[in-house]
Structure 1
Amino acid sequence: MSHRNARLTVHGRRILVERVLSGRPVAHVAAEMGISRPTAHKWVRRRRTEGDAGPHDRSSKPRSTPHRTPPVVETEVCRLRSERKLGPARIGPILGLPASTVHRILLRHGLNRLAWLDRPTGRPIRRYERDRPGELVHVDIRKLGNIPDGGGHKVMDRRTAMDNKPTTTDQRKSCKPVIGHSYIHSAVDDHSRLACSEILPDERQHTAIAFWQRANAFFATHGITVERVLTDNGSCYKSKLFTQTLTTAGIAHKKIRPYRPQTNGKVERFNRTLLDEWAHLRPYTSNDERTAALADRAERPTSGCQGSFAEAELHELRARRESTC
């Protein structure tokens, strides 16, 4: 890469070569461009021997590294990292290597961050993204405990909770509230990360089917035609009725391998974002207050789409769809 005070960039080198090849003396062209004659001859020689790739910068990587760590040792470093999740400070004494050398080995093999590794297997996570919106939509359900009126333990202090606690067995049976759970149904487009979520009372098949029909309509309003749906192996998604509903709409139903939620990672990460930035963001005094707060998170940038929801691409899809109708 050219430094900030470089006299020649790739474009300038091409101009230099063109002037020399047109018949002008190398010394005159070099003086015009403020460089030495040996430098001018170097770029002309590279252009003649390497063709169009000649004016580009070469890699500074050495052709050989005699003192590099042997491959057998690097393999052992990677094994300790993958199997035991050890860091450079722990691996170094085991193999007799400096921690800095271990870090460079891990960096070279893409194992320097544990967040990039699959916890069960220790292998680097292979991230992917579909080529177009609607090619694959991730669907999942997150169970969330309901909040009693007046707030839960995050709102009510310990002393107040003890004062209101029933003392006898009969009082406990008569006063114990049935709080239950709410179920967050979510659908996330793999390419654009456009998401749709609803808080529903259960996770039965008819509820899941009704949610998907509304989510499919939501994606359609944004010009996205869903081709495939990816779910886990929950009972509502394993039902024949759910698959038939997708098949009738021309949508293929794919299920992940059992006990492999990483495959459905787009919506799993979206669930965690909902917990961090909505459900557990602050104490709520009631379930209705928490539900109403979800509307405030309707639009949120995501790093998976370069800081946006790819609205420009969605508008382009809508325009393209309208032009074909």
Structure 2
Amino acid sequence: MADHSSRPRRSPTRLAVRRERRIIKLRFVRRWGAARIAAHLRLARSTVEAVLRRYRMPLLRHLDQATGLPVRRTPPRRYEHDAPGDLIHVDIKKLGRIPEGGGHRKLGRTIGNRHNKKHRPGYAYLHHAVDDHSRLAYSEILTDERKETAAQFWDRATAFFQGHGITVRRVMTDNGSCYRSKVFAESLGVEIKHKKTRPYRPQTNGKVERFNRTLASEWAYAEFYSSETARTATYDDWLHHYNHHRAHSGIGGLTPIERLHVHNLPGSYS
């Protein structure tokens, strides 16, 4: 038997087609929002919004204000450097520490805020370095974002990438004070080119921003942790999983380590 539509044959409360067309005309001609159209026609705003959705009307911000026609938006440009080490994305993620007993994301705000007031856990600073081509990531949980801390982190990150056969040629950071410092420039040396993101455009450093979102959803807030110590203890294992076992859709379903194998780079792959 063929499936039948669940839509009712009649919709007594639905607006007449003439009024629906009036709503659409006001949208195109006047470029009005749902609230203003509703006030003008003496209709409920929810009714106008339902009509606009049913006719698949684009949002006002997607319309050309001169013509009322949808603006063809340029799809975001995605770039990827050709080889490991061509560009390393470096960033710091400020992450609220979990108070003893657990935080509000798992226990609710009442209990979580009570734990926060009692223990005042503060913040952890996750320093990241992510290879643009392979997505291989080196990361540490540190106590601050001072210039000395950032420089020392980069020294260890460099050793990590060298251990995987990667020669770093460029580094991209935001415009944070630690990255503008002389001590960080000295840690990069003269052979590594330092690129900075455009101000207020974190998407310029998109690979590490994506890593931050993955980290938040799959590690930082994925489970209940009774304390910051308990969460921190799992980080190295999670990072190993990310590099060695987690398939990445942006690189054809490969893991970062597998992407390195494509280039036959030496190193230890466990």
TM-score category by the smaller chain?
0.5 to 0.7
Find the counterpart in structure 2 of residue 224 from structure 1: 166
Find the counterpart in structure 2 of residue 208 from structure 1: 150
Alignment partners' CA distance in 2, 1:234 and 1:186: 14
Structure 1 residues 280 and 318: alpha-carbon distance in aligned structure 2, compared to 1, 3 A threshold: same
Q: Which amino acid is the alignment partner of residue 144 of structure 2?
A: D
User: How many angstroms does 1:125 deviate by?
Assistant: 1.2
Find the counterpart in structure 2 of residue 305 from structure 1: 251
Alignment partners' CA distance in 2, 1:157 and 1:177: 17
Find the counterpart in structure 1 of residue 14 from structure 2: none
Find the counterpart in structure 1 of residue 138 from structure 2: 196
Task: Find 1:273's aligned residue among 214, 232, 245.
Answer: 214
Structure 1 residues 285 and 89: alpha-carbon distance in aligned structure 2, compared to 1, 3 A threshold: same
Q: Contact (CA 8 Å) 1:188, 1:267: kept in 2 or not?
A: yes
User: How many angstroms does 1:90 deviate by?
Assistant: 1.2
Alignment of 1:106-125 (within 5 A): 111=73, 123-125=74-76
1 or 2, which has the higher helix percentage? 1
User: How many angstroms does 1:245 deviate by?
Assistant: 1.6
Alignment of 1:67-216 (within 5 A): 89-91=56-58, 111=73, 123-156=74-107, 176-216=118-158
Find the counterpart in structure 2 of residue 318 from structure 1: 265
RMSD between aligned alpha carbons? Answer: 3.2
Q: Contact (CA 8 Å) 1:230, 1:255: kept in 2 or not?
A: yes
Alignment partners' CA distance in 1, 2:111 and 2:256: 48
User: How many angstroms does 1:293 deviate by?
Assistant: 2.0
User: How many angstroms does 1:159 deviate by?
Assistant: 7.2
| Structure of larger gyration radius | 1
User: How many angstroms does 1:154 deviate by?
Assistant: 4.0
Structure 1 residues 159 and 310: alpha-carbon distance in aligned structure 2, compared to 1, 3 A threshold: closer
Q: Contact (CA 8 Å) 1:279, 1:290: kept in 2 or not?
A: yes
Q: Contact (CA 8 Å) 2:174, 2:197: kept in 1 or not?
A: yes
Give the TM-score taking structure 2 as reference length. 0.66
Structure 1 residues 151 and 125: alpha-carbon distance in aligned structure 2, compared to 1, 3 A threshold: same
Find the counterpart in structure 2 of residue 17 from structure 1: none
Alignment partners' CA distance in 2, 1:181 and 1:158: 18
Find the counterpart in structure 1 of residue 236 from structure 2: 295
1:5-54 C-alpha deviation (Å, 9 max, x unpaired) = xxxxxxxxxxxxxxxxxxxxxxxxxxxxxxxxxxxxxxxxxxxxxxxxxx
User: How many angstroms does 1:311 deviate by?
Assistant: 3.3
Structure 1 residues 178 and 312: alpha-carbon distance in aligned structure 2, compared to 1, 3 A threshold: closer
Equivalent pairs, count: 204
Does 1:252 find its partner at 2:199?
A: no
1:225-281 C-alpha deviation (Å, 9 max, x unpaired) = 000000001111111211122124x21111111111111010011001100101111
1:172-229 C-alpha deviation (Å, 9 max, x unpaired) = xxx8433110011111101111111111111111111111111111111111100000
User: How many angstroms does 1:155 deviate by?
Assistant: 5.0
Structure 1 residues 160 and 197: alpha-carbon distance in aligned structure 2, compared to 1, 3 A threshold: closer
SS in 2 for 1:128: coil
Q: Contact (CA 8 Å) 2:147, 2:181: kept in 1 or not?
A: yes
- RCO (CA 8 Å, sep 6+): is it higher in 1 or 2? 2
User: How many angstroms does 1:161 deviate by?
Assistant: 7.0
**Identity across aligned pairs (percent)?**
54
User: How many angstroms does 1:147 deviate by?
Assistant: 1.0
Give the TM-score taking structure 1 as reference length. 0.56
Q: Contact (CA 8 Å) 1:148, 1:286: kept in 2 or not?
A: yes
User: How many angstroms does 1:160 deviate by?
Assistant: 6.0
The gaps in structure 2 that reach 5 residues or longer are 1-27, 32-51, 64-68
